């Protein structure tokens, strides 16, 4: 078993991850501001755009976004107010509500998407060579798989 403290290389990896994640997310968010979106808003629009009929059960959307039900409600309030997302009752189950991406929301997401992709490239991928991009994908896949296995 490893000791109680991280080794030098482990500390370097952990601190570089933690000290990079916040500024990276801030930069990605700033690049969405000209479209009137936060990173969280954009994430909602993407999830809904990829869903069948551009809608998801609210509980499933909250899970996908790692939000509580009340957190999702707060996140959706502005999107609903700007008519980017609608809340719809489920026709087959009165207890279920869906979040539905409107045509206006889909159009905004499609306009913002190329700028977001350019932002991801500029802030995350361009500092890396092709091998490092592949390694980064492998690293996060391994971490995600471990977390999913532990959650079972």
Q: Does residue 151 carry a pLDDT above 90?
A: no
User: How many CA atoms within 13 Å lie on the side-chain side of 16?
Assistant: 6
Instruction: Tell me the C-alpha distance between 9 and 29, whole Å.
Output: 30
CATH number of 19-151: 1.10.10.10
Report the C-alpha dihedral over residues 62, 37, 43, 12, rounded to 10 degrees. -110
Say whether pTM exceeds 0.85: yes
CB atoms within 10 A of CB 94: 8
Q: Work out the pLDDT band at 152, boundaries 50, 70, 90.
A: confident
pLDDT digits (tens, 9 = 90+) for 32-76: 999 999 999 999 999 999 999 999 999 999 999 999 999 999 999
Better pLDDT: 85 or 1? 85
Look over the chain and give the mean of its residue pLDDT values, rounded to a whole number: 95
Tell me what percent of the residues of the chain surpass a pLDDT of 90: 92
Report the C-alpha dihedral over residues 90, 94, 96, 101, rounded to 10 degrees. 30
Across the range 72-95, mean pLDDT stands at 94
Residue spans per domain, the chain: 19-151
- For residue 96, what pLDDT is reported? 92
Asked if 68 contacts 62 with a C-beta cutoff of 8 angstroms, the reply is yes
pLDDT digits (tens, 9 = 90+) for 133-142: 999 999 999 9
Instruction: Tell me the C-alpha distance between 95 and 29, whole Å.
Output: 34
- For residue 1, what pLDDT is reported? 58
Better pLDDT: 91 or 33? 33
Instruction: Tell me the C-alpha distance between 115 and 35, whole Å.
Output: 9
């Amino acid at each position: 078993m490893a000791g109680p403290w991280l080794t030098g290389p482990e500390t370097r990896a952990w601190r570089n991850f933690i000290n990079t994640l916040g500024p990276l997310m801030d930069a990605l968010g700033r690049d969405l501001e000209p479209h009137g979106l936060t990173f969280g808003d954009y994430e909602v629009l993407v999830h809904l755009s990829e869903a069948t009929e551009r809608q998801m059960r609210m509980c499933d959307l909250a899970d996908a976004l790692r939000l509580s039900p009340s957190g999702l409600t707060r996140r959706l309030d502005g999107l609903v107010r700007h008519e980017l997302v609608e809340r719809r009752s489920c026709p087959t189950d009165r207890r279920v509500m869906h979040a539905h991406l409107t045509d206006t929301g889909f159009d905004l997401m499609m306009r913002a998407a190329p700028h977001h992709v350019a932002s991801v490239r500029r802030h995350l991928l361009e500092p890396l060579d092709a091998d490092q991009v592949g390694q980064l994908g492998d690293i996060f896949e391994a971490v995600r798989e471990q977390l999913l296995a532990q959650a079972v």
